[in-house]
């Protein structure tokens, strides 16, 4: 089945018992058993729920994985993946990651004995220098958040396999419509499904997809043991959002490309960070299109304040990937938890802006970004 059909008919398509076209919301906590230990496949909704299972099978189909798992947030998904490792294990992570990822590694899992290095993973030659005897995984974002740096998944996969390491890829920005990490060699894929997969800023969710049965058994044990599961209503909402993923992503990409070309002509824009620019410069062509995320640096705080006070269509808010355009200042919002000295080193300045391009009329978005410099 082609992707555009798979988003609609993948996973569990409708309900066989009633003929319902959409998967029902099984809003229940427990299930009747005929005898002790004899049930219909479900016993308690933390362990398994039919609506959540439909979502989990759908995202596994879309990513080309072995098994999928739905969690209560993107951070719950990331934290559950990190629970695969034990005290004394070492992992390598992209240095320019979402602030919440940095925080949970540096402030939570560090206290549990996890060792780590945040490095520039888009420099493939640099990765091997950080591999130790206790290294267990490489964790990458591509594109990164917020500087849109790309890492060659296929090349990192070669390094991971040579050293018997897991390769974990956060695919939130690209979605399985634009990029397929498992096909490129990843073992685990993570999504903040709050973003493009949900697509309507009406839910918080996380997804994990694994490429083999062993990892599937381990992730299910963690999911069931910790219990950070996605509820049935949000699972249903997420299935609903995914059905239009391909249509929305095409418009996100189209609008973003036009806005990037417009930003190149603006004198108040110091630098633009966009996957299309990075891909062409580094000849990394692992995505179908370049997504709807743009970051750009404004020449000074005066122009930044003018920009933020000019907004009518674009919303100043955290998060991304909704049908509406959202703008943020990462250093003061999504990445404020990263120490200032690390932000400065990475290039996450106080005048860096991150724009999640929505699916509105592109001329209205550009009008919001147009500054009167007099």
Catalytic residue IDs: 46, 98, 170, 195
3-state secondary structure 167-206: EEEECCCCHHHHCCCCCCCCCEEEEECCCCCCCCCCCCCE
**Residue 355, strand partner residues:** 294, 327
**Residue 273, strand partner residues:** 295
Structure tokens at 253: 């990409």
Burial of 337 (0-12, 13-18, 19+ CB in 10 A): middle
C-alpha distances in Å from residue 170, one per residue of 174, 176, 208: 9, 11, 9
* Measured distance CA(178)–CA(191) in Å, rounded: 13
* Measured distance CA(185)–CA(168) in Å, rounded: 10
* Measured distance CA(346)–CA(61) in Å, rounded: 36
CA dihedral (343, 346, 347, 348) in degrees, to 10, reads -40
Tally of residues, the chain: 374
For tokens 């049908």, the residue is 323
């Amino acid at each position: 089945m082609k992707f555009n059909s798979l988003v609609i008919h993948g996973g569990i398509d409708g309900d066989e018992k009633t003929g319902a076209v959409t998967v029902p919301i099984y809003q229940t906590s427990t299930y009747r058993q005929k005898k002790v230990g004899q049930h219909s496949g479900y016993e308690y909704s933390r362990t398994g729920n039919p609506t959540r299972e439909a979502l989990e099978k759908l995202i596994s189909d879309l990513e080309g994985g072995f098994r999928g798992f739905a969690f209560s947030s993107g951070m719950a998904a990331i934290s559950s993946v990190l629970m695969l490792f034990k005290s004394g294990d070492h992992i390598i992570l992209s240095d320019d990651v979402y602030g919440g990822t940095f925080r949970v590694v540096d402030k939570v899992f560090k206290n549990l004995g996890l060792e780590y290095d945040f490095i520039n993973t888009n420099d493939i030659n640099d990765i091997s220098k950080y591999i130790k005897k206790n290294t267990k995984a490489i964790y990458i974002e591509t594109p990164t958040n917020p500087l849109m740096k790309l890492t060659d998944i296929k090349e990192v996969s070669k390094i991971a396999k040579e050293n018997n390491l897991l390769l974990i890829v956060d695919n939130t920005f690209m979605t399985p419509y634009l990029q397929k990490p498992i096909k490129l060699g990843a073992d685990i894929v993570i999504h903040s499904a709050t973003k493009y997969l949900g697509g309507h800023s009406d839910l918080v969710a996380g997804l994990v997809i694994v490429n083999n049965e062993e990892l599937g058994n381990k992730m299910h044990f963690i999911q069931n043991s910790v219990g950070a599961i996605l509820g049935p209503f949000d699972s249903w909402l997420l299935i609903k959002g995914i059905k239009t993923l391909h249509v929305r992503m095409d418009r996100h990409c189209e609008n973003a490309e036009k806005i990037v070309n417009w930003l190149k002509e603006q004198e108040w824009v110091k630098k633009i960070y966009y996957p299309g620019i990075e891909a062409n410069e580094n000849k990394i062509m692992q995505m179908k299109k370049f997504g709807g995320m743009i970051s750009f640096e404004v020449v000074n705080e005066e122009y930044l304040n003018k920009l933020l006070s000019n907004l009518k269509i674009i919303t100043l808010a955290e998060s991304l990937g909704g049908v509406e355009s959202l703008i943020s200042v990462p250093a003061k919002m999504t990445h404020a938890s990263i120490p200032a000295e690390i932000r400065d080193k990475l290039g996450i300045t106080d005048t860096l802006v991150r724009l999640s391009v929505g699916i509105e009329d592109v001329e209205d978005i550009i009008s919001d970004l147009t500054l009167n410099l007099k």
